[in-house]
């Protein structure tokens, strides 16, 4: 109800009026944080605020993030357009050291210990190629700790593991790094993507599968549609480089291969069997995005330890589409109890010392890209 002259106001009316004031103060606080505080502050260049926690997302500081992508270039959290994603990998692991964001490939946490790896540009075949390139040639699979499951949406990749091999020379030499496939019975639709640099003008560099069948003699085919190169049950493969003079650009061949089982190598080069060397499981079939947890609901949680409190006013800045909805809630006892609250209005959660704020955005249209840009909370107002 509104506060009326001559009558005693409801407590919530008073506290929500304070919430309106804190909302305005928070906007000035956010702006000052972005441009840099220009005053003699008493707390080592940060404002000496009383019972206020805030963030402008200049770093990825959400304690829980399911379904949002943190955009470091714009300092915000945004939902992703998932409507065109048909090629993807689901990774289950203990943790991730840093999110993936390269080659148009992103990682999106969709649950506890569960990440969606997808590509946003190109055809389905390019999406698949870029994902494999990023995870296994660029070794972003190494961003994950203790991988327990790798699930693929691509039927041909079920049961496969990744191998990476390289060889190069800048000297007067001819080198071969020959691989022999252990499985030549059920290794159907064996795939490869290579990067070949001939080096000198009259030098030779080849990626061959099977050996003596050249698939690439010059150029970077990583991340491109190489489905035409798929083979069933090849016996061998070969990375071949030849230099006829010393100096200049090194002749090199690098390749990532998806196959069933092991490859044994002979000659000069290096290789990684991700199954044997890094304990990455063979790929299994993924469910649909909805089955895997890539739902229309995205969640951010920010956690702080404070003095005991049973009241708080959160301020959340967000931009959401008319087809989406947002729910803000507060917990003062570490998530055991949540109190739903309107933005910039008083919440009276169960008393505690773990002050958490939760923002949940639910989309009815998965193409909409909603954003959360800043958050703040004032607590222990009385």
Residue 127, CA atoms < 13 Å, CB-side half-sphere: 18
Sign of the alpha-carbon dihedral angle for 35, 36, 41, 47 = positive
pLDDT in tens, 114-134: 999 999 899 999 999 999 999
pLDDT in tens, 209-226: 999 999 999 999 999 999
- Look up tokens 């959401």; give the residue: 320
pLDDT at 256 over 90: yes
Q: What is the mean pLDDT of the chain?
A: 93
Residue 75, CA atoms < 13 Å, CB-side half-sphere: 12
| 314 three-state secondary structure | strand
256, two tokens: 């990532």
123, two tokens: 């055809």
Computed over its alpha carbons, how large is the radius of gyration of the chain?
27
**Cβ(77)–Cβ(62) below 8 Å:** yes
CA distance 154 to 157: 6
DSSP designation for 348: -
Weakest mean pLDDT among 236-245, 250-259, 293-302: 236-245
Q: State residue 292's pLDDT score.
A: 92
For 22, residues 6+ apart whose C-beta sits below 8 A from its C-beta are 313, 315, 344, 376, 378
Q: State residue 342's pLDDT score.
A: 97
CA distance 327 to 313: 14
CA distance 153 to 217: 30
CA distance 266 to 4: 88
197, two tokens: 């640099």
Q: State residue 7's pLDDT score.
A: 59
Q: State residue 56's pLDDT score.
A: 97
pLDDT in tens, 156-206: 999 999 999 999 987 777 899 999 999 999 999 999 999 999 876 567 899
Q: State residue 60's pLDDT score.
A: 96
| Top-tier CATH class for 11-59+300-379 | mainly beta
Classified by CATH at the fold level, domain 161-271 comes out as Jelly Rolls (2.60.120)
Q: State residue 378's pLDDT score.
A: 97
> Dihedrals φ, ψ of 251, to 5°?
-80, 135
Phi-psi region at 267: left, alpha or beta (left = phi > 0; alpha = psi -120 to 50): left
- Tell me if domain 11-59+300-379 and domain 161-271 are identical in fold: yes
Q: State residue 2's pLDDT score.
A: 58
Residue 249: which pLDDT band, with cuts at 50, 70 and 90?
confident
Distance of CA 228 to the CA centre of its chain: 29
Q: Where are the domains of the chain?
A: 11-59+300-379, 66-157+288-292, 161-271
DSSP designation for 333: B
Q: What percent of the chain has a predicted confidence (pLDDT) above 70? A: 95
Q: State residue 170's pLDDT score.
A: 79
For 336, residues 6+ apart whose C-beta sits below 8 A from its C-beta are 350, 352
pLDDT at 6 over 60: no
DSSP sequence for 263-285: EEEEES-EEEEHHHHH-PPPPEE
Residue 207: which pLDDT band, with cuts at 50, 70 and 90?
very high
Q: Check residues 108 and 244 and name the one with the higher pLDDT.
A: 108
């Amino acid at each position: 109800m509104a506060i009326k002259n001559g009558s005693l106001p409801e407590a919530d009316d008073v506290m929500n009026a304070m919430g309106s004031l804190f909302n305005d103060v928070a906007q000035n606080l956010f702006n000052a944080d972005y441009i840099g505080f220009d005053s003699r502050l008493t707390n080592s260049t940060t404002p000496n605020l009383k019972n206020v926690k805030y963030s402008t997302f200049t770093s990825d500081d959400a304690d829980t993030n399911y379904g949002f992508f943190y955009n470091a270039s714009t300092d915000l959290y945004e939902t992703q357009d998932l409507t065109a994603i048909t090629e993807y990998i689901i990774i289950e692991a203990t943790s991730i050291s840093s999110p993936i964001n390269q080659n148009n490939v992103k990682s999106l946490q969709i649950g506890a210990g569960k990440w969606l790896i997808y590509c946003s540009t190109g055809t389905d075949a390019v999406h698949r190629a870029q994902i494999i390139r990023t995870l296994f040639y660029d070794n972003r699979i190494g961003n994950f700790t203790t991988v327990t499951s790798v699930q693929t949406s691509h039927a041909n990749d079920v049961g496969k593991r990744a191998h990476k091999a390289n060889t190069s020379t800048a000297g007067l030499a001819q080198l071969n790094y020959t691989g022999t496939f252990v499985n030549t019975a059920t290794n159907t639709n064996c795939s490869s993507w290579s990067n070949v640099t001939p080096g000198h003008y009259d030098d030779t560099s080849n990626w061959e599968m099977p050996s003596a069948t050249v698939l690439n003699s010059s150029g970077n085919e990583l991340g491109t549609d190489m489905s035409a190169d798929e083979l069933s049950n090849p016996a061998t493969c070969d990375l071949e480089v030849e230099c006829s003079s010393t100096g200049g650009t090194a002749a090199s061949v690098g390749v990532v291969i998806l196959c069933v089982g092991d490859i044994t190598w002979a000659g000069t080069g290096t290789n990684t069997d991700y199954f044997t060397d890094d304990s990455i499981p063979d790929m299994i079939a993924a469910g649909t995005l909805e089955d895997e947890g890539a739902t229309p609901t995205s969640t951010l949680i920010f956690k702080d330890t404070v003095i005991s409190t049973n009241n708080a006013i959160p301020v959340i800045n967000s931009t959401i589409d008319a087809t989406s909805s947002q729910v803000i809630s507060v917990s003062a006892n570490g998530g055991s109890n949540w109190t739903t609250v309107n933005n910039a209005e008083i919440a009276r959660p169960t008393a505690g010392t773990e002050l958490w704020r939760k923002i949940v955005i639910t989309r009815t249209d998965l193409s909409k890209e909603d954003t959360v840009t800043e958050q703040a909370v004032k607590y222990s107002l009385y």
